[in-house]
Amino acid sequence: MNIHIKNGRLIDPKNKIDAQQDVFIADRRIVGIGTAPTGFVAEQVIDASGLIVMPGLVDVAARLREPGYEYRATLESEMNAAVAGGVTSLCCPPDTDPPLDEPGLVEMLKHRARSLNQARVFPLGALTYGLKGTELTEMAELTEAGCKAFGQANAPLTDTRVLMRAMQYAATFGYRVWLRPQDSFLAQDGVAHDGEVATRLGLPGIPVVAETTALATMLQLAQETGVTLHICRISSAAGVELVRAAKRAGLNVTCDVSMNHVHLTEMDIGYFDANCHLVPPLRSLRDRAALRAGLLDGTIDTICSNHSPVDEDAKQLPFAEAEAGATGLELLLPLVLKWVEQDKVPLLDALARITINPAQLLGVKMGHLSLGAHADICVFDPKASWKMEPAALRSQGKNTPFNGFEMVGRVRYTLLDGQLVFQQ
């Protein structure tokens, strides 16, 4: 269908465009920016007056809970949540049940996702069988099945020899390795940042050194093996500094942070709010400031939702026993806009962190609106303010630490591959 999006403010970070320009779509692709191609006849016109038109968001961490955890969420509910949040491409970690360690599982997931025709799903494959940290998965086969990178999600990989070999093997084929740095011995039993709040509440702590010692090991092994390494969910100031130094030294490393950590700190736990039981733990104000600084100077490449829907019963427990995680797909854009407003970040730079940057580190062609690109588009109202009410979320996971927050910015239209898949 030929679609004309008119009167909107177009922001396309990859092409450094921030201007009042119309977008023309035909055959699922962008065929015109600013002026219509000759002979273009619109079958549908979207009036984007007062709205911002941007590439569909790319989220590098969203758990869809399929297969295995359908009681928490299903592909239907979560893909629906994705497009309602303007997210058109997402990457799901391999910690499903069973984990994504077999090509058949990955193909099934891709097929199920495709048939729903909502957002594009790019699975991360398991780096080791069963995420057990002992045997390598068939990375080449998994890549053919559609995996974009390999990781351990939150499962530990304590054997450094296995880690090094996994990196060597991945580097052989040019595959990306995605790891969340956390030393499992130092983090053992921990449920909160090992700091003032955990001390006050008597919560077992996860110290910053649990992140930095693991990170230092990963960076050294990456240097040794030449693998393309992506650091997931960095949480501490000291961790940001290690990545910054590694990038400066020319290492092939990228890094992401969850939107929760851009906005919250250990203080938000208050009196044992289990919605703030997250992985990694929310850290100190100083750490949050360093994460924001890392985002600004490019040390941190992208912000993800770290969408992890949890069922209500699993949160109605004492803090340490409650399951970690929060819903996030529908909050990614408004929380990035909140950061833009609070830190006076240029919108073009901020939106790069949820479009072209994550697309590049996933190695996919999405995240921009160049001529000929897939028409994955998010149109949002930058002035619409709304109050975060969990019941109104499309995600099956209703738990969020942002319950009751005032948000600004609301998605009006989402297009996937030139088709309108969401509007409100």
Partner 1 sequence: MNNPQLNKDGELQHLLTTEGLPARILRDLLDKATDFVNLAEGSEIKKVPLLHGKSVFNIFFENSTRTRTTFEIAAKRLSADVVNLNIGSSSTSKGETLLDTVDNLCAMHADMFIVRHSTSGAAHLIARHVAPEVHVINAGDGRHAHPTQALLDMFTIRHYKKEFHNLRVAIVGDVLHSRVARSQIHALTTLGVPEVRVVAPKTLLPTQVEKLGVQVYYDMAQGLKDVDVVMMLRLQNERMQGALLPSAQEYFKYYGLTQERLALAKEDAIVMHPGPMNRGVEIDSSVADGAHSVILPQVTFGIAVRMAVMSTLAGAK
Rounded to a whole number of angstroms, the minimum distance from the CB of residue 412 to partner 1 is 35
For residues 236-275, which are near partner 1 according to CB under 8 A?
A: 270-272
199 binds partner 1 (CB under 8 A): yes
| Given 200, 286, 383, 387, the residue binding partner 1 (CB under 8 A) | 200
Interface segment toward partner 1; rule CB under 8 A; list 60-68, 241-249, 311-319, 345-353: 311-319
Rounded to a whole number of angstroms, the minimum distance from the CB of residue 264 to partner 1 is 14
Please state, in angstroms and rounded to a whole number, the distance separating the CA atoms of residues 422 and 400.
23
Interface segment toward partner 1; rule CB under 8 A; list 37-45, 240-248, 318-326, 389-397: 318-326
CA distances from 130 to 67, 124, 399 (A): 14, 13, 28
- Which residues, other chains included, contact 375 with Cβ-Cβ below 8 Å and sequence gap of 6+? 3, 25, 28, 29, 30, 369, 415, 417, 418
281 binds partner 1 (CB under 8 A): no
47 vs 312, beta carbon nearer partner 1: 312
Rounded to a whole number of angstroms, the minimum distance from the CB of residue 285 to partner 1 is 13
68 binds partner 1 (CB under 8 A): no
How many helices and strands in the chain, by DSSP H and E?
13, 20
Please state, in angstroms and rounded to a whole number, the distance separating the CA atoms of residues 63 and 217.
27
268 vs 417, beta carbon nearer partner 1: 268
321 binds partner 1 (CB under 8 A): yes
User: What angle in degrees, to the nearest 10, is found between the helix axes of 208-225 and 160-173?
Assistant: 50
Rounded to a whole number of angstroms, the minimum distance from the CB of residue 274 to partner 1 is 8
Interface segment toward partner 1; rule CB under 8 A; list 45-53, 257-265, 317-325, 337-345: 317-325
- Which residues, other chains included, contact 31 with Cβ-Cβ below 8 Å and sequence gap of 6+? 24, 25, 37, 40, 371, 372
| Given 198, 240, 278, 373, the residue binding partner 1 (CB under 8 A) | 198
175 vs 319, beta carbon nearer partner 1: 319
For residue 360, give the amino acid letter. Answer: Q
Interface segment toward partner 1; rule CB under 8 A; list 150-158, 199-207, 236-244, 396-404: 199-207
CA distances from 368 to 47, 62, 248, 254, 295 (A): 20, 20, 27, 19, 20
174 binds partner 1 (CB under 8 A): no
Rounded to a whole number of angstroms, the minimum distance from the CB of residue 315 to partner 1 is 10
Interface segment toward partner 1; rule CB under 8 A; list 58-66, 200-208, 326-334, 402-410: 200-208
| Given 140, 164, 201, 293, the residue binding partner 1 (CB under 8 A) | 201
H helices within 306-355, ranges in order? 312-315, 332-343, 347-352
Please state, in angstroms and rounded to a whole number, the distance separating the CA atoms of residues 337 and 99.
34
404 binds partner 1 (CB under 8 A): no
50 vs 204, beta carbon nearer partner 1: 204
Rounded to a whole number of angstroms, the minimum distance from the CB of residue 30 to partner 1 is 48
DSSP state string for 113-156: HHHHTSSEEEEEEESBGGG-SSSB--HHHHHHHT--EEE-TTS-
User: What angle in degrees, to the nearest 10, is found between the helix axes of 208-225 and 237-248?
Assistant: 20
203 binds partner 1 (CB under 8 A): yes
204 binds partner 1 (CB under 8 A): yes
319 vs 422, beta carbon nearer partner 1: 319
Name the CA dihedral angle for 215, 358, 191, 186, rounded to a multiple of 10 degrees.
Answer: -10
207 vs 280, beta carbon nearer partner 1: 207
Please state, in angstroms and rounded to a whole number, the distance separating the CA atoms of residues 317 and 118.
34
For residue 341, give the amino acid letter. Answer: E
| Given 174, 318, 363, 404, the residue binding partner 1 (CB under 8 A) | 318
| Given 27, 47, 144, 196, the residue binding partner 1 (CB under 8 A) | 196
Q: Which of 156, 47, 144 is CA-nearest to residue 104? A: 144
317 binds partner 1 (CB under 8 A): yes
| Given 320, 348, 364, 384, the residue binding partner 1 (CB under 8 A) | 320
Rounded to a whole number of angstroms, the minimum distance from the CB of residue 198 to partner 1 is 7
Q: How many CB atoms lie within 10 A of CB 287?
A: 24
Residue 361 class from Cβ within 10 Å (0-12 exposed, 13-18 middle, 19+ buried)?
A: buried
b/e map of 5-23 (b: 16 or more CB within 10 Å)? bbebbbbbbbbebbeebbb
310 binds partner 1 (CB under 8 A): no
Residues that bind partner 1 (CB under 8 A): 194-196, 198-205, 207, 270-272, 313, 316-321
